Amino acid sequence: MLDRTSNFVRPLAATICSAALVLGATVAQAAETTLPDTMTWSSYDVGSAGYAEASAIADAFGKKYGTRIRIQPSGSAIGRLQPLLSGRADVGFLATETFFAAEGVYDFSTRQWGPQDLRAIAGRPSSIGIFTARDANITSLKELKGKRFAFVAGNPSINVKCGAFLAFAGLTEDDVEAVTFPTYASAMSSLARGEADASCTTTTPSHVYELAESPRGIRWLNMDPNDAEGWAKVNELAPFFAPYTETIGAGISEENPVNIMAYRYPVLAVRADMDADTVYNMLKAVDETYPMYKDATAAMPRWDINKSGVPAIDVPFHEGAIRYLKEKGIWNDEYQAWNDARTARLNALLEAWPKAVAEGKGKSDEEFADIWEKYRKQALSSL
């Protein structure tokens, strides 16, 4: 009797021990991703893609890790950056203002701002291209010369991207007939109204579908991903662009793709001095919860870490993010070289800023703008 019980107890005990070890390992593995109990993220306004995507990821964090996240929306670049830089927000779900802030340009060129030491955790690709009215018979970027090109007044985020396309073809704004519209909507719909022949935007706004269905029709202009000279010109202007083959959009499909370029929106941005372990765990959590949020919007699958965790992006990757990307086998020598060059560019601007401020002491805002532009150009030309 005792022997039979012993024979039963030993396997049972072994099973219990084995289950305990598995459970312990699972708990230990789950504990490896440590997030704060509460976090604050800044983002674009309610209703924007950035807000929707931040909300989906925040919801996944809450369900998996119990982290309570407050999203602080703002309609302005300053409104999104201020909480992050002051420490009131942990992470910003930002767009091209990440690059503008790091460069000290546009809203961030004034004395109270200047270049900001920011880093990226990740950022999903968002494509953008030059679209034309098909009846304008523009078939290449070089043929934009002398054509009516729609720009948006006071919108550097859109206009710098349009400028990058022109730079790729060796053109500038002076080479086209610039037509400036007061709003984004009016600029994008100007082609269908016959008031412009080309502009640049993402591939899915309603305005481009309206153009495609209008008598004028639509055409997207290709960028050769292998044109090294063209891409060098783009990266000199804005080093956060990369070649991208798009298959979704007005007049675009799997059967009719277009080679354009991608930037990152949203960019998960943090201060450079953020704790590396916190950043590591943040990116790990973004990766681990991906199955929970990837279907939240049509764009969410592009948060796949193999797409969102690689250059090019608006600012250098944070060391904590790079550590996780190396563990995943994603980070390579090419990406490290890009990150080193991007860090050198940012550091050159950070070093130039105090010199400009010193020289501009007592000068007017207009005089200071010229002084900073001089130092900025010198810093970039030294690289």
Domains of the chain in sequence order: 33-124+264-381 (3.40.190.10), 127-263 (3.40.190.10)
Backbone phi and psi for residue 320, each to the nearest 5 degrees, phi listed first: -65, -35
Other C-beta atoms lying within 10 Å of the C-beta of residue 264: 28
Q: How far apart are CA 159 and CA 157, in angstroms?
A: 6
Instruction: Give Cα separations from 298 to 52, 53, 144, 204, 315 (angstroms).
Output: 11, 10, 32, 11, 26
Look at residues 266, 280, 264 and name the one whose alpha carbon lies nearest to residue 322: 280
Q: How far apart are CA 293 and CA 348, in angstroms?
A: 38
Q: Write out pLDDT tens, residues 253-309.
A: 999 999 999 999 999 999 999 999 999 999 999 999 999 999 998 889 999 999 999
Q: Write out pLDDT tens, residues 326-358.
A: 999 999 999 999 999 999 999 999 999 999 999
pTM of the complete model: 0.84
Other C-beta atoms lying within 10 Å of the C-beta of residue 154: 10
Distance of CA 94 to the CA centre of its chain: 7
pLDDT, residue 2, reads 37
Q: Write out pLDDT tens, residues 51-76.
A: 999 999 999 999 999 999 999 999 88
CA angle at residue 305 from 303 to 307, to 5 degrees? 70
